[in-house]
Amino acid sequence: MIRLERLISPGMRESLIHALPATSPCTHFSTPLTLAECSHIAYCAGRLDRTGTAIQPEHVEEGFFTGTLFSRNRIRGCTDVVLIRADARNPQRITEAGILSEMLLIMLAAEGLQTCRLFDGYKQGLLPAVPGLDTIAVLAVGHGSMTSPPEAPSSGSRSHAGWPEPIVRAVRYAAFMPSAGSGPSCQARWESHTLTLSTDQSDRFLFGCALAHAELALNIPHHWSVHAQGLSASASFMLQKA
């Protein structure tokens, strides 16, 4: 499974958690990215790239965003994107693509960049092809204006009473999804030193995004694994016993 501890230090975890509210979508971009910023995006994408998924920065014409790609809010002024690719027929790969995509989005927000994630792949014919992989999402990246970021979650549900504070924190952040407006409906269970998050929704990608948040927020030693098959998906976060 994806091991984030190999990519980020404990101190970096907290800086990324604090950047989460800044992942709210931006639809109006202004200043183009600098060469140094493009290089940093490529570096982050390379660190997150995994077998079975592809994270690929690309430069596009602004006209790429016209038409029905993003029907609710047309994106303007953006010419840099990151393509998130995986096998659309493999639920496990889609979930992992969601984890990696959200991690990249948060890392870019921590550097002061604005993003917007698009899910409509109708323009795949205009994108460089990767054999065996489908374009699952497109991240628009740049400098721009955004609405006031939402407040980070500060308290847990009454149903979590008696749970360890780090576990409650992980559950809170799994449901906090500024980049998508709202997160997937996840059920949380805590028993035998293991937190299990599960969903029966079809959106494996957003479930992966929620898992990225839980993994970042759970700042105590643990192992985790993800299982996605058919109409259900779950993740187990197993605390390491002292």
In this predicted structure, the answer to whether residue 26 has a pLDDT above a threshold of 70 is yes
Q: Are residues 52 and 93 in the same domain?
A: yes
Whether 115 is covered by a domain: the verdict is yes
Residue 122: the pLDDT is 45
Do 101 and 37 have their domain in common? yes
228 in Cβ contact with 2 (< 8 Å): no
Any idea which of 64-78, 165-179, 199-213 has the lowest mean pLDDT?
64-78
User: What is the domain-level CATH number for residue 68?
Assistant: 3.40.109.10
| 170 and 117 inside one domain | no
pLDDT at 222: 83
Query: 120 and 14 share a domain?
Result: yes
Task: Out of 78, 111, 145, pick the residue that ends a domain.
Answer: 145
Does 43 or 242 have the greater pLDDT score?
Answer: 43
- Residue 19: closest CA among 108, 145, 115: 108
- Find where tokens 């190999």 sit: 6
Joined together, the tokens standing for residue 150 give 């939402």
Q: Report the share of the chain in percent with pLDDT over 90.
A: 31
Q: Any idea what the CATH number is for the domain that residue 189 is in? A: 3.40.109
pLDDT tens digits along 61-92: 877 776 554 444 578 888 899 999 998 888 88
Same domain, yes or no: 21 and 114: yes
Q: Compute the Cα dihedral for 95, 100, 105, 109 and give only its sign.
A: positive
Burial of 111 (0-12, 13-18, 19+ CB in 10 A): exposed
What is the value of pTM for the model shown? Answer: 0.87
**Would you state the pLDDT for residue 126?**
62
Let me know the angle formed at the C-alpha of 226 by 225 and 230, rounded to the nearest 5 degrees.
Answer: 155
Q: What band does 43 get if pLDDT is binned at 50, 70 and 90?
A: very high
Residues 28 and 139 grouped into a single domain: yes
Encoded amino acid at 88, one letter: A
Same domain, 9 and 99: yes
Tokens representing 128 are 């460089």
Range 119-127 contact pairs with CB under 8 angstroms and sequence separation of 24 or more: 119/205, 120/68, 120/69, 120/70, 120/71, 122/68, 122/69, 123/64, 123/69, 126/64, 127/58, 127/83
pLDDT band at 4 (very low <50, low <70, confident <90, very high): low
* Structure tokens that stand for 68 in this block: 């029905």
Cβ-proximal residues to 21 (8 Å cutoff; 6+ apart), any chain: 149, 150, 151, 152, 178
Structure tokens at 19: 């950047």
Sheet arrangement for strand 194-199 = 187-191, 194-199, 232-239, 222-229
Residue 12 has pLDDT above 90, yes or no: no
Range(s) of the domain holding residue 112: 4-145
In angstroms, the CA 182 to CA 176 distance is 7
Report d(CA 239, CA 196) in Å as an integer.
Answer: 11
**pLDDT digits over 95-134, tens only?**
889 999 999 999 999 999 999 888 755 455 567 677 888 8
- How many domains would you assign to the chain? 2
User: CB neighbours (10 Å) of residue 192?
Assistant: 7
> Which is nearest to 216 in space by CA: 182, 173, 180?
173
8-state DSSP, 111: T
137, 53: one domain: yes
CA-CA distance, 58 to 68, in Å (whole number)? 20
